[in-house]
Amino acid sequence: METLSQTDRKPASALYFEGARGPGPAWLQTLRQNARARLEETGFPTTEQEEWRFTSVAPLLQWPLRAAEPAARGVGPADIEPYRIAGEGYCLVFVNGRFRAELSNLPGPGAPVQAGSLRAQWNGGASEWEKHLARHADCRANFFTALNTVSFEDGAFVIARANAVVEQPVQLLYLTASEQPGAVVHPRNLIVANTGGSVKVIETYASLTEAAHLTNAVTELVLGPGARVEHGRLQNENESAYHIAAVQAVQDADSRWLSHSIATGARLARNQIQTLLNARGAEAVLNGLYMARGEQLSDHHTLIDHAQPHCQSHEFYYGILSGRSHGVFNGKIFVRQDAQKTNAKQTNRNLVLSESAVINTKPQLEIYADDVKCTHGATVGQLNSEALFYLRSRGIGAALARRMLIRAFANDAVERITVAPARESLEKLLTERFERLDASLSSHE
């Protein structure tokens, strides 16, 4: 990690509360003001709080934090190419938090989906997203969500029209490029699928430089009756970065949300993935894959709120931990009193590849209805030595055999991604990652 200047520190309050109020029209300023009040109530998270028990964000207060310079170095098409998912899809590119129209590919006015920069439009009078933006993500419970609402300077909206089936995926690409440590970006996204609409959105987070930076992203998703949304987060920021994410979906009747959280990057990653199953027949599938190595910490806190009857949720989270890394999985499922006939299933599997890696996994089911089906299971294990021997007994070297088994462990998570180019780029990333993993494992032979 970059050495952070000890003399250039600012008190956290000065940076967060005074210097970082984002722009926007009056209605947005009101929201920001409310969020700011929440910030002060909630206070900066500490490991004293149950929700942050294993994940200390205190080091951030030692950083020379500052808003990322909007005009970073000249970032051109060649810089973004490696991060773009291939194919004919739409892509919204943000560099240091600012939308870059010349690098982006937006749907035209007649397209079944509208997408663009929030900032470019929030002065243009009432827009469809005004009634949703910053209305769903909870500023009360999460300091960083409130901080994002206070501070965000730009972000993306994606809106699928009623009954529109959007074939091309929409990629939201957030790149940070800062030579000096301490740059902060607060990406903000709003994804709406109106009645019967269907859309696939992939958020990608990456760093173009090696300096430590903070990404504090919030995404709200609104699924109308019968809507279908596939939403992926691929986070592969540099291993000095702190990445904090909150995702909140709100689902109407018979809607289906397929969520992927693929977390491979950052020194510390905290992902809060939440959905509210708010009407009959809604279904959520939460798919996750976290890989941590070296000193990385990867934390997922998920919450599925079964507020209404006849809803389903299926949650599959997989962790691969090596080196001295630390994984945290906390899976909360609420089944409220009215939510009869709920069907909820949660699985968390962890592959621990070194002696010093740590995983804290905790299912948390709170069930207030009596006619429900809820199951959960968590496993922590090593590579299957029998399988390893079987592969080697056929002539496959130990390193490749291990790689095949680690890849196999991640397989289900990868296969759930239906956006083929996103899946393929993830496969490539995993292959590279597993190859490098060998060096750290070979001492175990």
Partner 1 sequence: MLEIHNLSAGVGGKQILKGLDLSVRAGEVHAIMGPNGGGKSTLAQVLAGRGDYEVTSGSVTFNGASLLELKPEERARAGIFLAFQYPVEIPGVNSAVFLKAALNECRKARGEQELDAVEFLDIVKKKSKVIELDPALLNRAVNEGFSGGEKKRNEIFQMAVLEPRLAILDETDSGLDIDALKIVSSGVNKLRRPDNAALVITHYQRLLNYIVPDRVHVLVHGRIVKSGGKELALELEERGYDWIPEAAASNGKP
Distance CA 205, CA 429 (A): 13
Among residues 102 and 394, whose Cβ is nearest to partner 1?
Answer: 394
Triad 45, 183, 221: Cα angle to 5°: 65
**Residue closer to partner 1, measured from CB, 378 or 398:** 398
Q: Are strands 188-193 and 155-160 parallel, antiparallel or unpaired?
A: parallel
| CB closer to partner 1 out of 193 and 401 | 401
- Give, as one character, the DSSP assignment of residue 69: P
Nearer residue to partner 1 within complex by CB, 385 or 443: 385
CB of 416 to partner 1, least distance (A): 13
Give the strand order in the sheet containing 343-352. 98-99, 90-95, 170-176, 198-207, 228-236, 256-263, 283-292, 312-321, 343-352, 373-381
Contacts of 323 (CB under 8 A, 6+ apart): 292, 293, 294, 295, 296, 354, 356, 357, 440
Calculate ∠ Cα 15-19-21, nearest 5°. 115
Whole-angstrom Cα Rg for the chain: 21
Nearer to partner 1, 110 or 394 (CB): 394
- The amino acid sitting at 390 is Y
Backbone angles phi, psi at 4, to 5 degrees: -100, 135
Looking at the Cβ atoms of 270 and 433, the one nearer to partner 1 is 433
Q: Which is nearer to partner 1, 268 or 291 (CB)?
A: 291
- Quick one: tokens of 144? 């960083």
Which parts of this chain interact with partner 1 (CB under 8 A)? Answer: 384-387, 389-398, 400-401, 404-405, 407-412
Distance between CA atoms of residues 189 and 215, nearest Å? 13
Query: Which C-beta is closer to partner 1: that of 160 or that of 401?
Result: 401
Min dist. Cβ of residue 350 to partner 1 (A): 15
Residue keyed to tokens 């970006």: 185
Tokens of 145: 């969500």
d(CA 257, CA 259): 6
Nearer to partner 1, 396 or 429 (CB): 396
CB of residue 389 to partner 1, shortest distance in Å: 6
C-alpha 408: how far from its chain's center?
23
Report the nearest approach of partner 1 to the CB of residue 404 (Å). 5
Q: How far is the CB of 395 from partner 1 (least distance, A)?
A: 4
Residues in contact with 49: Cβ distance below 8 Å, sequence separation at least 6, in sequence order: none
Of residues 97, 58, 54, the one with CA closest to residue 75? 97
Shortest Cβ distance from residue 199 to partner 1 (Å)?
Answer: 30
Q: Which is nearer to partner 1, 81 or 415 (CB)?
A: 415
One-letter amino acid identity for 24?
G
